[in-house]
Structure 1
Amino acid sequence: MSVNTISPAQFKELRQRGGTVELIDVRTPVEFREIHVDIARNVPLDQLDPQALMTARNGADQEPLYIICKSGGRGRQACEKFVKAGYVNVINVEGGTSACAEAGVPVVRGKKAISLERQVRIAAGSLVLIGVILGWTVHPYFIGVSGFVGAGLVFAGITDTCGMGMLLARMPWNQCKSEGTACAAQ
């Protein structure tokens, strides 16, 4: 499925020309709190409802909707959700928030957090190590834990959908204490 994209430099030029630019950031609230483009609104990918979001735009559903994440992958997934729902005027910001910050797009910086990608690597590595240790010391069947995690990583690589990442995104440490403005202010 083809997704429309815009480079960070083009996005910066678009912003400088003025006018209304609606930007949805699909990262977790904690990732959003750490750094986000100043005009972005946070709607996490796992909570994204294209129909409800477009309806809430009050007639502006024909205007382009820009989608951003950390590096572009989740943004592309969000755009695909919109296209499947029948909304084709969605544009993924290439390279995500990281590339925008490098390109000089205004960003808001907040409290530092461990990225979701890094959390997945820590969790997957820990589960593989635990499976090997338990397989070696307790019972060989525990090697299955490592095999299961390996299969999950292969699946994530093929489908570009990470079940462990989606699970970790819902953990309490990846949520803000209260939704809305309190999250951005922390």
Structure 2
Amino acid sequence: MASSASPVTDLDAATLQNWMTRHEDLAILDVRSAAEFESMHIPGSYNVPLPLLAEHADELAKRLGNRVVLVCQSGVRAEQARGHLAGAAVANARVLTGGVPAFAAAGGDVVRGAQRWSLERQVRMAAGSLVIAGLAGGRFISPKVRLLAGGIGAGLTFSAATNTCAMGQALSKMPWNKAASEPTAQSVISQLPAVR
């Protein structure tokens, strides 16, 4: 019985560093928010926040060549972006294992800007704070306030099961997570080189 091997979808930092010096057709798409991109990114990468990529995957696919690497903070959003691009007939996209921090830790060259908390760290802080508030409110205000802690726990469970994060999406829209210049579909598409 023949087994069909699943396509390789991940890429380690050392291989990406090698590709950056050897392949002119390489397109590195950073799917984090513009603010996260400003704080640290891989030189030559294009900032295409996940919501923008999801909405315009077909248009972007027309501009992408054979060597596409998706990066984010940890790999979760990049994997979601890979799924969107696969739906737009880009089957060769790879996800950088460990994201931009792993690339930097492996000695990869990165551009550093104003430091901000990553979106994942903001989610942990918001969720933890809301759970504490729910428990304290349940003790000192009304037992019903404990439902807040239960709601957060249910939301985190759903987030893990579906590999999505509604709280992260909401936090990404906050003013402190906005960059001076937010990418648009037109600005991203015009920056990508034409496929040869």
Contact 2:34/2:181 (CA < 8 Å) preserved in 1?
no
Other-structure match for 1:47 = 52
Aligned Cα root-mean-square deviation (Å): 1.7
Q: How far, CA to CA, are the matches of 1:160 and 1:20 in structure 2?
A: 30
Q: Which runs of 5+ in 1 are unaligned?
A: 181-186
How far apart are 1:104 and its partner, in Å? 2.6
Runs of 4+ in 1 over 4 A off after TM superposition: none
Q: How far, CA to CA, are the matches of 1:97 and 1:162 in structure 2?
A: 20
**TM-score, structure 1 length as denominator?**
0.87
Q: Deviations over 1:1-53 (max 9, x none)?
A: 86612211111111122423111000111111111000111111122121121
Matched, 1:128 2:131: yes
How far apart are 1:126 and its partner, in Å? 1.2
**TM-score, structure 2 length as denominator?**
0.83
Matched, 1:114 2:106: no
Other-structure match for 1:35 = 40
Q: How does 1:85-124 map to 2 (within 5 A)?
A: 85-124=88-127
**Could you tell me which amino acid in structure 2 is paired with residue 87 of structure 1?**
V
How many equivalent residue pairs?
A: 176
* Structure 2 SS opposite 1:158: helix
Matched, 1:68 2:71: yes
Q: Deviations over 1:124-149 (max 9, x none)?
A: 11111111222222222111111100
Q: Deviations over 1:48-103 (max 9, x none)?
A: 12112123x1xxx4422211111212111110111133321211111211121122
Other-structure match for 2:24 = 19
Q: Which runs of 5+ in 2 are unaligned?
A: 1-5, 184-196
Matched, 1:173 2:180: no
Percent identity among equivalent residues?
39
Contact 1:62/1:89 (CA < 8 Å) preserved in 2?
no
Contact 1:50/1:82 (CA < 8 Å) preserved in 2?
yes
Measured at CA, do residues 54 and 21 of structure 1 come closer, stay the same or move farther in structure 2, by a change above 3 Å? same
